[in-house]
Amino acid sequence: MLDFTFYNPTKILFGKGRIAAIAQEIPTDRRILITYGGGSIKRNGVYDQVVAALAGRTTFEFAGIEPNPTYETLMEAVRVAREKNVDFLLAVGGGSVIDGTKFIAAATPFEGEPWDILAKRARIQRALPLGAVLTLPATGSEMNSGAVVTRRASQDKLAFMHPLVYPRFSVLDPSTTFTLPPRQIGNGVVDAYTHIMEQYLTYPVNSPIQDRFAEGLLSTLIEEGPKALATPDDYDVRANIMWCTTLALNGLIGAGVPGDWATHMIGHEITALHGLDHAQTLAIVLPSVMAAKRDNKRAKLLQYAARVWDLTDGTEDGRIDAAIAKTRDFFERMGVKTYLRDYGVSADAIPALLAQLKRHKLTRLGEHQDIDPAVSRVILERCLAP
């Protein structure tokens, strides 16, 4: 096992009807900015539950945080937060709303140009406290300290992490997900699956606990994901998926093991240039990374094949190929296409994607930092079509 530091102070309030509990989690004298996205929370009753829980409190609202939240939009929220002297943020939505709200939390008291938090890793010394009401199980943002923000003007999609932006609490009520469109459920499952793989599918470091936890989460997504599409109002299925997606990226399964994250880095550039959903890019890139890095990842690929897909017969490469095919097939069964061609992106897009990676200094990716632009090209070429 590698050395690690693990710290995660977010309080999880899990279960049906738990939104009411936010009243006890936010001090009564706080000036609260409620942040959300496109308004689905007004149609599914979540907004009403939040408003009821905060009756009598001083609240303001900022709507319109988009998928892949943009710096431009978030800076509008920062202006509102400053103008209204807000001292608590409540994010109501999915990973994009929560990510965006983390940036608002750090940017509001920041002295200087807040873009530097992302572009120059400027030091954060203060942040507004935030809480979250999760409505879309996917990114894990509700229980971690990271956020990804896109600058519309320059197509940069950049991340920051800071302990001050852990949500103080997050409400996970699985029944709030019943009305999600299938596309968002499929995306969420693929996103969480890939988060797990980024932390699992590297090289062995004698970490049986982390390995088994990761395999347990993967197996649960494989079992429950298709059920979530087939029977959208099955509470237990949604509960299992929701807790899985949170545990996939809360620091636990990554503590003490190497991380890859090449799939995410390459995927971010595809979203930035071609507007694909985040999870769509992961479903495209992950199988290519598995295939292209099969020698480095051989031991864990064989373990993954055996323990997650029960593939134990045949040659090593045969088992690895079968495991990659099973992974791709699972993503497709979740409704997420796994080739660039499916989204109308062709080979002539590759040079610009490679240029973006270079511009973001992402030229040494992966757990061995050996995915240079030439390897990224091979990976992207494998992404094009079967």
User: Which residues are at the interface with a copy of itself (CB under 8 A)?
Assistant: 1-16, 18, 206-209, 212-213, 215-217, 219-220, 223-224, 236, 239-240, 243-244, 247, 252, 255-256
Cα 62 → chain centroid:
22
Q: Is 269 helix (H, G, I), strand (E, B) or coil?
A: helix
Q: Hey, what are 210's tokens? A: 């982390």
Residue 235 CB, nearest distance to a copy of itself (Å)? 9
Q: How many CB atoms lie within 10 A of CB 309?
A: 18
Q: Which residues contact 79 (CB under 8 A, 6 or more apart)?
A: none
Alpha carbon of residue 175 to chain centroid: 20
User: What is the number of other CB atoms lying within 10 angstroms of the CB of residue 45?
Assistant: 13
CB of 45 to a copy of itself, least distance (A): 18
Distance CA 46, CA 52 (A): 10
Least Cβ distance, residue 292 to a copy of itself (angstroms): 30
CB of 195 vs a copy of itself, minimal distance in Å: 14
Token reading at 292? 């292209």
Q: How far is the CB of 48 from a copy of itself (least distance, A)?
A: 21
In the complex, what is the shortest distance from the CB of residue 249 to a copy of itself, in angstroms, rounded to a whole number? 14
Q: Report the residue number, 135 or 250, with the smaller CB distance to a copy of itself.
A: 250
Least separation in angstroms between residue 160's CB and a copy of itself is: 20
Integer CA distances (angstroms), 238 to 143, 172, 177, 234, in order? 18, 10, 7, 6
- Beta bridge pairs of residue 70: 150
Which positions ≥6 away from 322 have C-beta within 8 Å?
Answer: 305, 309, 311, 314
With tokens 């599914």, the residue in question is 44
Least distance (Å) between residue 44 CB and a copy of itself: 20
CA 386 to chain centre: 27
Cα distance between residue 210 and residue 203, in whole Å: 12
Relative to beta strand 31-35, strand 169-172 is unpaired
What 8-state DSSP symbol labels residue 257?
Answer: S
Judged by CB, which is closer to a copy of itself: 3, or 348? 3
**Closer residue to a copy of itself, CB minimum distance, 209 or 325:** 209
Q: Whose Cβ is closer to a copy of itself: residue 92's or residue 239's?
A: 239
Of 139 and 207, which CB lies nearer to a copy of itself in the complex structure?
207
Nearer to a copy of itself, 92 or 237 (CB): 237
C-beta closer to a copy of itself: residue 11 or 294: 11
Between CA 104 and CA 189 the distance in angstroms is 27
Return the structure tokens found at 163: 């302990």
Task: Closer to a copy of itself by CB, 3 or 29: give it.
Answer: 3
